Amino acid sequence: MTVSLPEVSREWHLTARPHGWPQPDGFALVEAPVRAPGEGEILVRNVYLSVDPYMRGRMNDVKSYVPPFKLNQPMDGGAVGVVVASGDDRFAPGDHVLHGLGWREYATVPAGHATAVDPDLAPLSTYLGVLGMTGLTAYAGLLEVASFKEGDAVFVSGAAGAVGSQVGQIARLKGASRVIGSAGSDEKVKLLVEEYGFDAAFNYKSAPVAAQLKEAAPDGIDVYFDNVGGEHLEAALSSFNVHGRAAICGMIAQYNATEPPAAPRNLALVIGKRLRLQGMLVGDHAALRPAFVRDVAGWIRSGELKYNETVAEGVENTLDAFLGVLRGDNTGKMIVHLP
């Protein structure tokens, strides 16, 4: 049976490198011809797209751990979709796959770069969030990078986001003595305590972070999971107990800065407190995936781990969804659904 393939697909291009906050006129949603899959390739109709803070760094033409986006070429990112045509025996039309060619409606993907996912085990969108890269980031960052152990007091910045909300819940489930989170609104603070089970949370916009953290963690903290940097990192250094550990996952507070930020003014505390501050990239922790999926899928089934998604509709709203992540508009994982 011959399957009729679409002729064109809409895709997002970066047309100018931003200075400071990205502006909509630096992007374009363009139509491009759909290419039928060759040998070893599959054609995927994307159903969900991921937009993530790390993508801001890829808009700069600087050497980093992941290549920058090319100008006037399709951008990419995590996506889940359905196979509509296949040139590889590993996949058949109708299969659902996770791959890295997002920011577009259709993608011709090398079959070796796609992973089969089961929509009957979990909703497709969760493979981009709670069961995907963001979830593994939380799991690996807390347990492996920050060397969490039962009884630790844990502080999470950006705690209502996709990664932070999962870090706090995993810490609680693994026996933390206290879990504290920061967020950017009173509504998110309430969510952290009432839904995610944090012991304490505060709105970092309402008062200095250091003072609020000391009040929330009077006995200090042992682990800090950093999604924000800046003032939050400085506050954590002050509240750390001896031999504290930080997993430095992100620094969204300075992604759009046009001037170098002031370094934590109390960095000398690292010496006397014998602190360990370690950066992390989730790609280094693929070996943890089987344990991660086993633990997190079990916690989701039992209702012990909760998650939220903020969903934007339509490929045309992908850029707005991404900018919303930078502003902190999302609660949990920001997802774009392509009807």
**CA 61 from centroid of its chain's CA atoms:** 22
pLDDT confidence of 3, banded at 50, 70, 90?
A: low
User: Based on the number of CB atoms within 10 Å of its own CB, is 116 exposed (0-12), middle (13-18) or buried (19 or more)?
Assistant: exposed
Question: What are residue 156's DSSP bridge partners?
Answer: 181, 225
Domains in the chain, start-ordered, CATH in brackets?
8-129+308-337 (3.90.180.10), 133-283 (3.40.50.720)
* pLDDT (tens digit per residue) in 254-283: 878 778 777 799 999 999 999 999 999 999
Q: With beta carbons less than 8 A apart as the criterion, state whether 178 and 217 touch.
A: yes
Rg (CA), the chain: 21
Nearest to 241 by CA among 155, 307, 301: 155
pLDDT confidence of 64, banded at 50, 70, 90?
A: confident
- Tell me the two tokens of residue 138: 């939380």
What H or E segment, with its residue span, contains residue 295?
helix 289-302
DSSP secondary structure, 187-202, as one string: HHHHHHHHTS--SEEE
* pLDDT (tens digit per residue) in 285-305: 999 998 998 999 899 989 999
* pLDDT (tens digit per residue) in 124-162: 999 999 999 999 999 999 999 999 999 999 999 999 999
* pLDDT (tens digit per residue) in 86-124: 999 999 999 999 999 999 999 999 999 999 999 988 899
Specify the pTM.
0.87
Starting at the edge strand found earlier in the chain, the sheet holding 221-226 runs: 200-203, 178-183, 153-156, 221-226, 240-248, 276-279
